[in-house]
Amino acid sequence: MTRTESIAEVEISFEFSRHFGPRFIHGAVTLQFEGSKQYEFKSTASWPSGDNYEEAVRLAIEGALQEIQGHLRSPGVLLKKIEWNEISSCQAGFERAARAATLAAFDV
């Protein structure tokens, strides 16, 4: 299946969990994309106190959208929720999950 330049409304959940050296890296996101809206990143996700990787998630999404579309004119993106693992969740895990979810949104 090839990626298209635009999407309708789609919700994607992606969980990244991989063993790297002596530890696991984890991140899980649910993103909602609305193709009819101008690009805007919003979040309703609830992060644990002291650990908020929302900016890293936004940057990963924007990088993937630039790669796919070559611009940031659309879609609107909502970070609906995250899943947190007390031991393994980290910024790199959330970045990878957000990027993979964004790429997957254009494959459906």
List pLDDT tens digits, range 46-94. 999 989 999 999 999 999 999 999 989 889 999 999 999 999 999 999 9
Query: Which pTM does this prediction carry?
Result: 0.89
Mean pLDDT over all residues of the chain? 91
Tokens of 62: 């924007």
Distance CA 66, CA 40 (A): 14
Residue 20 CA, chain-centre distance (Å), reads 21
* Distance from C-alpha of 70 to C-alpha of 61, rounded to nearest angstrom: 13
The C-alpha atoms of residue 49 and residue 97 are separated, in whole angstroms, by 20
